[in-house]
Structures are given as structure tokens and as C-alpha cells.
Amino acid sequence: MTYEFHPDKYYRMPTHFGPSLGPRQGLDGRRYANIETSKDVIIQAKFEADKSQLEKLLPPGFALRDFSIVTLTFCYITEIEWLAGRGYNTFDVSIPATYHGKEETVHGDFTLVMWENKADPIITGREDLGIAKVYCEIPEPQFTGNDVVCRASWDGCEFASLKLLDLKEIPASDLPESGASEGSLSYKYIPKTGVPGEADVEYATLLPDVWPNVKLDQAMAAQTAAIQFRKSTWEELPTLVHIVNALSELKLGKCVEAHVMRSHGSKDLSDLRRIK
């Protein structure tokens, strides 16, 4: 008399009301094509970093790739199909890494943390995809003159800001190559209930760097950029202070590139997979 799970359907807690609704499944199993949308404003900067500091942030099985840089990306997303046309914003920090699995070796960009300002994509991103998403407030970017400021706060306490200076429009062909990355790497970890130190789930995942729907609408290059992580207290950031302060302690060198890109088209990330 209880319910049964449908095979081949995506589920998430609560499973009691039928298959879940999310990026990869709508009502009646509908899928989202993401051809013309979402619309994305991507504001990104890369900084030289200290190799030994970055290595300490890698989980077992991962190694830093040849170069030692940190990439900071704010993404302001609108017209998302699975949210019925709504949007949300993200802020993520990644470093180039290689994962040595049992069967595969994958070179990619390892997402250390991804903040998002909406709970729904955080939940699906963590549980379906294994991406280390957590919550913060991410107000819209502030374009003033030829500069832009991106900001992140939690409960009204600003902990990070990224500023790109002296933006100039460039042809798409002037954007740098993505550096032989096969995609975004994550480390899915779900704790075992009631047993500290043990995990129910623990494996690496890959989001392949294949985006057939994405069309670039505009590209701008900045003269330079500056990132600030504000050293914070536990009282200010009781769930994030260890993350923010570790990032604030990174010794960052010069900005090696900084861009603003506007694009449309996306994908449902159903190609994200566990690495063997």
C-alpha cells in the first residue's frame, strides 16, 4: 500500500510525492532543451597562486595540474527553463586539477566551492551532481562606467568582492583557450547519518566541457581585476567561516586574465557523471 519508485525517473527527498522536479526533469518527465536560454552574464578573473597552498585543498586522488592559478567566477543567470523562467546567481572558486581514477585520468578544473543564492539549485546540485554548492546572497553585478563589481554576503555580512577594471569589448576569437580542461571536477561526499567521520557517498564527478547550445553574445576583457575575501569571524559566518578564511589566506599573485561574457543557451547537465 506504500508507493513504489518508478525506474529511470529522477528522485530527490521528499520522494513521497513522485519523481522530483528539477533541471533534468519536469512534470510528466518533461526534459528541458535549453536551446535559447538560460541567459548568462559571466564575470571571471584568474590569479596566480601558490602551488603548495592549492594542493592542500585537493581531496584524495586529485593533483594540481601544471599551472597554479585560481579562477573566480560570478555567473548571473536568467530565464532558466526548469525554474519557469526565473534565475539565480552563482560564485565559484576553482583550480586546475587532474583526477586519477581507477580506470580514468581526467584533466579538468576542480570546483572548490560554489555559492548560489537560491536553495533549490543548491539541493539538486549537491545531491544529483556532487557539486560543493553552499548558500550566500549574490546581488546583481554593479556596472559603473567601465568597471564592474561582484559581491557575496551571508546574512548581510559581505565576505567577498571581485572588481574588474577598464572593460573593453573584444571579438570572441580573442578570448583565451580553456587550457585543455576536459570539464569541471567535483568530489561528491554525503555523510553517513549518525556516524561522524564516515561517508555514505564519496566519489569524483566530471561535468564534460561540451556546451553545444551556448552562443556567445558579447565578450569584454578587463585591464585587470582584484579579488577580496574578507577575513571573518564565526559570529559573522557561522557556517562559512572556515571556507572564507581559507580563501582569504591564499597568497594570490597577478591577475592573468579577466573577462565578462554574455551568452545564451545551456544544458541540463545530465551528462555529468561519476569518474571511474
Q: How many residues bind a copy of itself (CB under 8 A)?
A: 108
Residue numbers 29-68 binding a copy of itself by CB under 8 A = 37, 52, 55-63
| One of 48, 50, 53, 79 touching a copy of itself (CB under 8 A) | 79
Site for a copy of itself in 103-122 (CB under 8 A): 112-113, 118-120, 122
Binding of residue 27 to a copy of itself (CB under 8 A)? yes
Q: Which is nearer to a copy of itself, 71 or 173 (CB)?
A: 71
Cell, residue 266: 545551456
When the beta carbons of 153 and 173 are compared against a copy of itself, the nearer one is 153
Tell me the β-bridge partners of 218. 262
Report in angstroms how near the CB of residue 254 gets to a copy of itself at its nearest.
Answer: 23
**Least gap, CB of 206 to a copy of itself (angstroms):** 9
> In terms of CB distance, is 39 or 48 closer to a copy of itself?
39
Retrieve residue 24's grid coordinates: 533534468
Q: Which of 105, 142, 223, 224 binds a copy of itself (CB under 8 A)?
A: 142
- Tell me the C-alpha distance between 87 and 129, whole Å: 19
Q: Are 257 and 43 in contact (CB under 8 A)?
A: no
Q: Are 41 and 79 in contact (CB under 8 A)?
A: no
Q: Which of 86, 226, 248, 262 binds a copy of itself (CB under 8 A)?
A: 86
Q: Pick the binder of a copy of itself from 50, 53, 107, 157 (CB under 8 A).
A: 157
Contacts to a copy of itself from residues 198-227, by CB under 8 A: 199-201, 203, 205
Q: Counting contacts by CB under 8 A, is residue 2 touching a copy of itself?
A: yes
The residues, ordered by sequence, that sit 6+ positions from 147 with a Cβ below 8 Å of its Cβ are 163, 164, 165, 166, 167
| Element containing residue 252 per DSSP (H, E) | strand 252-264
Give the one residue of 42, 53, 139, 175 binding a copy of itself; rule: CB under 8 A: 139
Which residue's CB is nearer to a copy of itself, number 238 or number 253?
A: 238
Q: Output b/e per residue, 25-44; b: 16+ Cβ within 10 A.
A: beeeeeebebeebbbbbbbb
23 vs 181, beta carbon nearer a copy of itself: 23
Angstrom distance (rounded) from CA 242 to CA 178? 30
Pairwise CA distance, residues 269 & 125, whole Å? 10
Q: Which is nearer to a copy of itself, 221 or 246 (CB)?
A: 246
Element (H, E) at 53: helix 51-55
Distance of alpha carbon 261 from alpha carbon 258, whole angstroms: 10
- CB of 160 closer than 8 Å to CB of 244: yes
* Nearest CB to a copy of itself, comparing residues 180 and 199: 199
Residue 262 binds a copy of itself, judged by CB under 8 A: no
- 17: contact with a copy of itself by CB under 8 A: yes
Tell whether residue 229 is a contact of a copy of itself (CB under 8 A). no
Closer of 37 and 181 to a copy of itself (Cβ) = 37
The answer to whether the beta carbons of residues 122 and 135 sit under 8 Å apart is yes
181: nearest Cα among 36, 19, 44, 66: 66
